[in-house]
Chains A and B, each alone.
Chain A
Amino acid sequence: MDMKVAKKKLGIKERYGHMTRGLGWEPTYQPADAVFPYDKYEGIKIHDWDKWVDPFRLTMDAYWKYQGEKDRKLYAVIEAFAQNNGHLNITDARYLSAIKLFWQGVSPLENYVVQGFARAGRHFRGEASRVACQMQAVDELRHYQTQAHSISNYNKYYNGFHSQRHMWDRVWYLSVPKSFGEDALTAGPFEFLIAISFSFEYVLTNLLFVPFMSGAAYNGDMSTVTFGFSAQSDESRHMTLGIEAIKFLLEQDPANVPIVQGWIDKWFWRGSKVLALVGMMMDYMLPKRVMSWKEAWEIYAEENGGALFRDLARYGIRPPKGWADACEAKDHISHQVWLLFYEYGGAAAFHTWSLTNEELDWLSAKYPDSFDKYYRPRLEFLRDKHARGERVYQSTLPTLCTTCQIPLCFTEPGDPTKISHRETVYEDEKYVFCSVHCQEIFCNEPEKFVQSWLPVNQIYQGNCFNPDVDPTAPDFDPLKAVLEYFKYNLGRDNGEFEGSEDQRNFAMWRGQASKN
């Protein structure tokens, strides 16, 4: 055949450029600021979007191919898990609390960021950055949906999963991740990117996924292991987006550096507070433990994060302000949060329990500097009370931090006996915080954080009862009314594990399935 011309071979970078950057154009019939109205008000200056480095080069044809293959495999496992009663392979029904916490508190965030990344994927002026954000948007849709489909099977047999969506908008402890997600979504597109792609995906994601997924693997939960590992290749793309995004912002203009630094300070601290829930899960909820929260923090935050911030120093970025305090807290937060949930166990939609001696010894060994001194005595005291038939349940409402929304349960840096507490008066109103860092976040954006929907305050104002209840009735039980507003099945979703329906059913079904 007679070839007309020898065609030029395009390099991968050039070819990808045609597939992404080449598609866009500068509008002329509408002002660019009308088409892209959100990328200036945060004060970030971008001089040249062409300097954006593509974090990965994936065209849609390749995307569909890889993702299609992954999902064919993943759904085969989900299917088999459901067919074969895979849930009976978990170590112990206590493990279910870990997945409940994930489903209630993490999965909704996956879904939240779909819209956030779609907005970023529409509103940055640089096409290449938009394509990267869009791919993350649709990946996050995948994560939420694969989690819903995996957990669907647990929901059929166990409590605490059924009303995750309803609870997310109402339940006291879920306002911690909810306000975190909404803080990011209501921020401008650049802050959103630093909050989610950099601070969360790049700096902290390993502290969320590695503990949950290895916890699942250790505890026989094949379904969670599979969706977790299947999400990991997406996550590595999300992480590179985070690191490329921050470098790009920092290189574009020196005036961006202090703005980005402020966001890093804020989002690192906010993220570390949300992760306190993961710490509790690792140290207390896994019948078979993987590593302690403290060990995970040392590897994934201190080592990896330390190296990262040494690397970013050349841009004038220093480690986040709360870094030292967050590192000190690694000895304490998992215990403090578990004690909180144990004592407020009546109001949590997962079970809590007393630890065995073996488990207490494990914690003593993992936390030589703090556990025996501050936490073991309290846990043993609570266990003794429970053994005497006096399971402790707190019924007074706690005070919430206005920023992170966690009840005041953390202690003062340097003094693990003293609950940390800060106050600020803003426009004649008093606001309370768990730490100096949460206080500072508030003071930087008071107009935003005065809007916090604080569940405890809302309960006091009577906003957390179903419309058909009558708070003036003589037999009105406010706590019960609130839990009904949360859509708890009282006595089945909440409270002590020992004697729970989940415990009984799991034991019975496993007995049936393993008998010959």
Chain B
Amino acid sequence: MSVEIKAVEIKPLRNTFTNVAELIGGDKPASRYQEATLGVQATTNMHYRPTWEPEFELFDPRRSAIQMREWYDLKDPRQLYYASWTIQRAKEQETQEANFDFVESRCLHLSLPDHVKKLALDVLLPLRHAAWGANMNNNEFCSRAFSEVLISPAIMQAMDNLGIAQYLTRLGLLLDEPEVLDIAKAQWMTGEAWQPLRHMIEDSFVVRDFMEIFLVQNFVFDGLIYPLIYDRFVDDTLTSQGGSAVAMLTSFMPMWFGQSSKWVDGVLKVAVAESEQNKALISQWTTTWRDRAVAALTPIAAMAFGNNQETMLNEVVEQFNARAKKLGIVA
């Protein structure tokens, strides 16, 4: 038998969970982001050492050389939790899908000038493997990270990377025959221009420090590749040569990069400000991997921009350095 429940005002006994209250300065109404993430990962009284890495506890901040008095300070300014993430991505996917439909229904993919199409495929398709590499790194980051405030956005980031690799795959399948994917993979494996990039990405696969993985992938690699490829190559170079269809098919990527940069900057800024040691380490990682990435991207810039390559790459590096400086990184 069900009772008719009237809307009455009931004074709650408490506002939120104690693990959340402890991190937001007392028992106050908490947001969905806060209740989904703050203080959520287990921290103590662990039972067994990992058989795959017995030198560490199962959940162990020592998996990074970065030290934080409070790991939950490394919050995500986007305040994403699963539902807000998936609902937002669903909307963005709708836009991206509409773009695919638009291009296909108006046969814009068929009217691309041949040299533009070839250039687009040459530069973009091998990058689906780089996006897959990003997915690998963010899964690794997720599985090794300490504190839920990193774990939760990490797995969402990894899935975003997969989504991007799949959008690039769809682009290839729309613009040409499936064989172009094999050609691009062959370039990725043996094409001269791609080897430094692949070499660097494979080296990142053996990094074990979770904050270094986070930084290398999401700050350095993405921070150079996305502005170079999506802002300058797709939006400028290709569009000016009649390739705006390509920009429509990749509109998700620069938009996504803008969002993910907010997260990356939010985390790094706080980690750097925590201590001189963190600052020094993060600066050193940034310098090393940036220099390597710039070298790795040089032959790709040559392919993408021809004579213009130096200007384009320099602009991107300057932009990256300015961003790093704002975060307190000396690189």
Contacts and interface: CB of A to CB of B under 8 A. Distances in A.
B36 A68 contact: no
Contact of A38 (B13, B19, B52): B52
A182 B47 CA distance: 7
B58 interface: yes
A510 B1 CA distance: 14
B187 to A, nearest CB: 11
A18 B171 CA distance: 12
A361 to B, nearest CB: 21
Contacts, number: 274
Contacts of A146: 82-83
A163 B19 contact: yes
Contacts of B45: 169-170, 175, 453, 458
A186 B89 contact: no
Given A145-B83, A158-B13, A114 B151 contact: yes
Contacts of A74: 83
Interface string B195-213: 0001100110110000000
A118 B159 CA distance: 10
Given A18-B169, A61-B97, A451-B48, A25 B188 contact: yes
B240 interface: no
B162 A157 contact: no
A71 B132 contact: no
A220 B163 contact: no
Interface string A482-514: 000001000000000000000001000110111
B69 interface: no
Contacts of A121: 139, 158
Given A25-B129, A85-B10, A509-B8, A452 B32 contact: no
A71 B86 contact: yes
Interface in A137-156: 137-138, 141-142, 144-146, 148-149, 152, 155-156
Contacts of B162: 60, 131, 134
Given A25-B188, A134-B162, A186-B50, A118 B206 contact: no
B93 A122 contact: no
A138 B206 contact: no
B48 A163 contact: no
B166 A115 contact: no
Interface string A422-452: 0000000000000000000000000011011
B61 interface: no
A34 interface: yes
Nearest to A191: B51
Given A138-B159, A186-B51, A186-B58, A27 B205 contact: yes
A65 interface: yes
Interface string B309-320: 000000000000
Say what secondary structure dominates the interface of chain B.
helix
B87 A509 contact: no
A94 B161 CA distance: 46
Contacts of B189: 25, 28
A30 B203 contact: yes
Contact of B86 (A67, A83, A158, A159): A67
Which range holds the interface residue count of chain A? 35 or more
A89 interface: yes
Which range holds the interface residue count of chain B? 35 or more
Contact of A115 (B92, B110, B143): B143
Contacts of A148: 17, 35-36, 40
Contacts of B139: 118-119, 121-122, 130, 134, 137
Contact of A149 (B35, B50, B140): B35
B12 interface: yes
Contacts of B16: 152, 155
Interface stretch (A3-11, A196-204, A297-305, A318-326): A3-11
B79 to A, nearest CB: 12
B324 interface: no
A5 B129 CA distance: 27
A58 to B, nearest CB: 11
B39 A165 contact: yes
A226 interface: no
Contact of B185 (A25, A85, A115, A166): A25
Contact of B165 (A23, A29, A137, A487): A23
Given A29-B203, A131-B162, A157 B12 contact: yes
Contacts of A178: 42, 47
B173 interface: yes
A49 B185 CA distance: 19
A67 B142 CA distance: 21
A342 interface: no
B169 A19 contact: yes
Contacts of B90: 64-65, 67-69
Interface in B127-150: 128-129, 131-132, 135-136, 139-140, 142-143, 145, 148
A155 B16 CA distance: 7
Contact of A114 (B58, B81, B155, B170): B155
B277 interface: no
A453 B47 contact: yes
A235 interface: no
A499 B32 CA distance: 33
Contacts of A83: 7
Nearest to B13: A157
Contacts of B44: 169-170
A165 B72 CA distance: 15
B17 A513 contact: no
Interface in A450-486: 451-453, 458
Given A8-B178, A18-B169, A183-B48, 12 more contacts: A10-B178, A28-B189, A28-B202, A35-B205, A41-B52, A64-B89, A85-B5, A85-B10, A141-B152, A175-B45, A182-B58, A451-B47
Q: Across chains A and B, which 6 residue pairs bring their CB atoms closest together, nearest first?
A: A68-B90, A60-B163, A122-B139, A119-B143, A156-B12, A23-B132
14 contacts: A22-B169, A22-B185, A65-B94, A68-B86, A114-B151, A115-B143, A122-B139, A148-B17, A185-B58, A451-B47, A451-B49, A452-B48, A513-B7, A514-B3
Interface of B: 2-8, 10, 12-19, 32, 35-36, 39-52, 58, 81-83, 86-87, 89-94, 96-97, 107, 110, 128-129, 131-132, 135-136, 139-140, 142-143, 145, 148, 151-152, 154-156, 158-160, 162-163, 165-167, 169-170, 173, 177-178, 181, 185, 188-189, 198-199, 202-203, 205-206
